[in-house]
Chains A and B, each alone.
Chain A
Amino acid sequence: QVQLQESGPGLVKPSQTLSLTCAVSGASVSTGNYYWSWIRQPAGGGLEWIGRIYNTESTKYNPSLESRVTISADTSKNQFSLMLNSVTAADSAVYYCARGLLKFDSWGQGSLVTVSS
Chain B
Amino acid sequence: EIVLTQSPGTLSLSPGERATLSCRASQSITNNYLAWYQQKLGQAPRLLIYGVSIRVAGIPDRFSGSGSETDFSLTISRLEPEDFAVYYCQQYGGSPPYIFGQGTKLEIK
- Chain A residues near B (Cβ < 8 Å): 37, 39, 46-49, 52, 60-64, 96, 98, 102-105, 107-110
Contact indicator A49/B98 (Cβ below 8 Å):
yes
What is the size category of the interface that chain B forms with chain A?
A: 20 to 34
Q: B100 is contacted by which of A48, A61, A102, A108 (Cβ under 8 Å)?
A: A48
- B-chain residues with CB within 8 Å of residue A105 when the two chains form the complex: 47, 50, 56
- Chain B residues near A (Cβ < 8 Å): 33, 35, 37, 43-47, 50-51, 56, 88, 90, 92, 95-103
B100 to A, closest residue via Cβ: A47
In the bound assembly, the distance between CA atoms of A105 and B90 in angstroms comes to: 12
20 A-B residue contacts at CB 8 Å?
A37-B98, A39-B98, A46-B102, A47-B88, A47-B100, A49-B98, A49-B100, A52-B97, A60-B97, A63-B96, A96-B44, A96-B45, A102-B51, A102-B92, A103-B33, A104-B37, A104-B90, A105-B56, A108-B44, A110-B44
Q: A37-B98, A64-B96 are in contact. List 6 more A-B contacts (CB 8 A).
A: A47-B103, A63-B95, A96-B44, A102-B35, A103-B47, A105-B56
